[in-house]
Each structure stands twice: as structure tokens, then as C-alpha cells.
Amino acid sequence: MLIRVGHEITIAAAQDTPLICMVTPHVSRHGDFVRPESVTTIPQVPVHSYFDGYGNICLRMIAPAGRFSLRGDVTLHDDGALDPVDEDADEWAVEALPDEALQFLTGSRYIETDLLSQQAWDLFGQTERGWHRVQAVVDHVHRHIRFDYLQARSTRTAADAQREGVGVCRDFAHLALGYLRALNIPARYVNGYVGDIGVPEEPDPMDFAAWIEVFLGGKWWTFDPRNNQRRIGRVVVARGQDAADVPLMNSFGQHTLEGFRVWCHPVGEQGNPLDGMQFA
């Protein structure tokens, strides 16, 4: 199947403002592109790309004073399959883990493993190891946090989310990551596109989504604490320890957000929207 993903972000700044943006699909999906991603700005400015320490693509530019828009759009092939499952995937002992997985066992800006450790072992220490323990964590977080866009807060940590019981997708992800790392299971934060493909369409405007990847049986597996269901057509943008590593827009100066649109929909062979979906 073909999926079209993209975004349009508009800001207003009082002065020229350097930006670093993580909004383009991860390089691992570039082989699926029908054609190269279209990246445009209004007004037009030079855009330079580089890889960060996690292998994420960062777009670097200077937004001139006034109104500025960044738009990306690409159509890519997808196998149309649900997120894979392997209920036999087991945990690996810490000493057996590959070096690159170890960084995803530690606390970070939004994930206080020290504050969550005792609770994690009290809740899940007796749960069957491996996939079933991870799913138990995801089930618990999905039930514990109430999703509410109006309650979004950029400073909310995993411990805050546990205490307050409300948040948005990043808060679901942070709390699940905190429990898993406290249980010595490597887990990392993921930001990307998830459309309403194969599920009832959400009435709210689409946004970038956050989910997690967990290391079991020698592989990374996708889990989604917010939706708690296997989905079709995820498109990863960036991975890191937590949301601090994968900001959509890092602004080195004050600005006001004036517009924000995200799309992720199946399209036909000619790139036309399916089921009456519209693109601007």
C-alpha cells in the first residue's frame, strides 16, 4: 500500500531565529519513498540536514523575522501489516545486552527510574518475563493515564504522569519507559506518524505521535501505551531516550506557533486520497 505523510508548521518570530527540526521520516524508510520528500519553506531559506547521535535526521535553518512556514510531504510504500508480535520474545540479562542497548536502561530528563523502581517491581516483578511483562506494563499505563490534549504540559515527567494520571501520548510513553527501564528492560522513545489506518478515524486533528520500542529476544519491538493496539503504517521520524531528544522544533529564540497540520493517510497509485480524504 501507499501512505502519504507530511506536516506544515507555521511560526511568527520577532527576529531571525535559528531552528533545528526533527520532522522528516527516519532514513530507514527512505528506500520506501515513491520519490524524494518535498521540503519547502515560506519564505524560502537554505535547509541543511545532518544526523544526530541517535541517527535521526535533523533539519537546520534560520527562520527570518516575521511569519515562517516549514512543510514536508512524501508518499511511501508500506507492507500494510500490523506491528509485529512475538509473545515468545524474552528478556536478556543485562550482561548479555548489546552495548547500544545499555543507554536505554538509564534515567533521563523525563524518566526518573529511581522514583519508579520500587513501584515497577511491586507491580510487575512477579509477572511472566519477556513479552508478557512488557505488555502488562503497557496495559497498566494505558489504563492509568487519561488522555487529554488540554492537559498537555511540556514539563510533565514520568513520575508526574504516574501521580497525576492524565496526559498526552508522550506521557504514556514516558511512564511505560520508566517502568521498563526500572525492570532492566531496554526501552526507547519514538516519535513519528500514525494514521487512522484500519481503525475508526479520530475526530481530533492529527498530530505527530509518540510510542516506544522495547528490546526483547535480540530485537526492538513496537508497543503503543497510548493506543495499546497494533497499528498499520507507522512511520518513524526519530528515536531517543525521551521527548527531550526528539523535539519537532528546537527554536533558538522566541516565537509564536501560528499553524500546525499533520497528515498520514493511505493513497492510491496516482497519489490520490482514498475514502474522500483531502490534502492541502
Whether 183 shows a pLDDT value over 50: the answer reads yes
How large is the angle between the packed helices 113-124 and 131-144, nearest 10 degrees? 110
Q: Read out DSSP for 212-242?
A: EEEEETTEEEEE-TTT-S--B--EEEEEESS
- The DSSP output letter for 102 is H
Domain ranges in the chain?
Answer: 2-80+247-267, 94-242
Predicted confidence band at 279 (pLDDT cuts at 50, 70, 90)? very low
Predicted local distance difference test score (pLDDT) of residue 114: 96
Predicted local distance difference test score (pLDDT) of residue 201: 86
Residues linked to residue 250 through DSSP beta bridges, in sequence order: 20
- Looking at residue 267, its amino acid is V
DSSP 3-state percent helix, strand, coil across the chain (nearest 5): 25, 35, 40
- Looking at residue 154, its amino acid is S
CA distance 131 to 88: 7
**pLDDT for 111-124, tens place per residue?**
999 999 999 999 99
Global confidence as pTM: 0.94
Whether 274 shows a pLDDT value over 70: the answer reads no
CATH placement of domain 94-242: 3.10.620.30
Predicted local distance difference test score (pLDDT) of residue 280: 43
Percent of the chain beyond pLDDT 90?
Answer: 92
- The DSSP output letter for 82 is B
- Looking at residue 19, its amino acid is L
Whether 21 shows a pLDDT value over 90: the answer reads yes
**pLDDT for 217-231, tens place per residue?**
999 999 999 999 999
Residue with cell 515562517: 68
CATH placement of domain 2-80+247-267: 2.60.40.2250
Question: Taking a C-beta distance cutoff of 8 angstroms, is the pair 137, 179 a contact?
Answer: yes
CA distance 207 to 227: 14
- The DSSP output letter for 256 is E
